[in-house]
Structures are given as C-alpha cells and as structure tokens.
Structure 1
Amino acid sequence: MVLNVTVTEPTADSRLTVHPHGTARPDAANLTFTAGQTRADLVVVPVVDGRVALFNQWGDTHVIADLNGYFTA
C-alpha cells in the first residue's frame, strides 16, 4: 500500500512508524517530528489481513493517512 502519512498537532517530539499489521515494529521510523509541527511522508508498506499498524513513540498526535495506491502480483 502507498500512503501519504501526515502528523499534525503533536504534543511532544516523537517519531511515527508504519509497518505491516501483526508484525514486530521495526526500529526505523517513517516520520520524526517536533511538538507542534505538521510533517508528511510517503510510505510504502505491505498489508497483512487488510491492515497496517501505526505507532507513535511519545505524546499524542493526530495522524492522517491518505491511500495513494497499491501493488498486486
């Protein structure tokens, strides 16, 4: 799946990781950001059981994920 992922209004400096649902969260982050900052990044992530997982390390933030497309075999 190809997603444009945006974080907005974070309460703390943090990092957001997008990864396949049901798998171990990787150490690498897709987005790093500071409190109050709005940031976006394009993410390509495999889909497992029709889902992906999003994890915010610290604080609270709004997350917007827009589907741009997907790949099939």
Structure 2
Amino acid sequence: MSEASKLFDQKASQGQVAPGASKESAVQQAGEMALKMYLKSQAQGGGSSAGGSGGAGDLLGFASKFLK
C-alpha cells in the first residue's frame, strides 16, 4: 500500500490525478485489491493450510508486505 501512496504522489506531481481523487481512497483501493488477490490465492490452494496452520497468520504476513 505504500507503493500506492508513492504512485499517487508521483502522478499528482505530474498533474495526472483526476480532480476530486484522494490519496486515502487510492491506498484503500490498493489494500482491497491486495486482500482480494490473497483470498483468491488461498481459495486456489496457494496457501500453507495443509498442516492446519496458516489462516490469520498468513494474512497478517501478507498484509505486512504492504504496510512498510
């Protein structure tokens, strides 16, 4: 999500942001998309839930990648 923030700032400095667009909205949408992609990968068997682990811990690990 930090990348979404940086990209928004970059585009805003170039005048390529629509009037009324907010940085907060862009970051929120990036987070929602990341979560959807994560959940889709879990539904397709891409997670580490085979041994009964995973779940919330995997989600927190995934989210931490975007919160730096």
Task: Give the structure with the higher percent strand.
Answer: 1
Larger radius of gyration: 2
Task: Give the structure with the higher percent helix.
Answer: 2
Instruction: Report 1 or 2 for greater relative contact order, CA contacts < 8 Å, sequence distance ≥ 6.
Output: 1
Shared fold by TM > 0.5? no
Q: State the TM-score, normalizing by the size of structure 2.
A: 0.25
